[in-house]
Amino acid sequence: MSVLSIIEFPDSRLRIKASPVTRFDSELDQLVHNMYQTMYSAQGVGLAATQVNVPQQVLVIDMSENRSEALTLVNARIAQREGTQVYKEGCLSFPGMYAQVTRALKVKVEACDTRGKSFVYQAEGPLAVAIQHEMDHLEGKVFIDYLSPLKRAMLLKRMEKQRKASA
């Protein structure tokens, strides 16, 4: 069991496209376990394997207040999207940065559990945001990619300022 270190922007490893998981073994269990530990310890609501330097299609989410509603998706695919919503997003790979992002309101996802058993999962609202945010990470995409050039520039400037202040 361990808390893994989280890759921060602009590290190029955040741009790697994750590969599908092919072996549903104890190594996968270990990874998922460590991802939950890392996410809870960083007080995040989700984490993609890409963020801990494992380019495999694994994501974990827990949006609940008391950290009791774990959702693990392996090899997830969005089968259906419906509507739109705007939500103020943050990201553990962009500490202290937030921005409004437009995404689908509802998603229907096909995924596997850690045993390799496939299932369908439907979500809407904030949970659907988190699923889409994590699935983007697995494709090498991050939330600032959705911002206008001006808003992105402002956010990056703010990040740079913060980085200098803490250096």
- Tell me which residues are annotated as active site: 134
Residue with the two structure tokens 């072996």: 23
Q: In the complex with Ni ion, which residue's Cβ is closer, 60 or 109? A: 60
Which of 14, 58, 131, 133 contacts ligand GNR by CB under 6 A?
133
Question: Where does this chain touch ligand GNR (CB under 6 A) — which range of 29-37, 67-75, 83-91, 117-125?
Answer: 83-91
- Minimum distance from CB of 17 to ligand GNR (Å)? 15
Buried/exposed 88-126: b ≥16 CB within 10 Å, e otherwise: ebebbbbeebebebebbbbbbbebbebeeeeeeeebeee
Q: In the complex with Ni ion, which residue's Cβ is closer, 39 or 91? A: 91
**Rg of the chain over all Cα atoms, to the nearest angstrom:** 16
75: which 2 tokens?
A: 């090899």
Q: What angle do CA 77, 123, 23 make, to 5 degrees?
A: 35
Q: Please, which residues have CB within 8 angstroms of residue 3's CB and are 6 or more apart in sequence?
A: 34, 37, 38, 41
47 binds, among Ni ion, ligand GNR, none (CB under 5 to 8 A by kind): ligand GNR
In the stretch 85-124, what mask flags binding to ligand GNR with x, by CB under 6 A? ----xxxxx-------------------------------
Q: Does 129 bind ligand GNR (CB under 6 A)?
A: yes
Give the rounded distance of the alpha carbon of 20 from its chain centre.
Answer: 16
Give residues in contact with ligand GNR (CB under 6 A): 44-48, 51, 89-93, 129-130, 133-134, 137
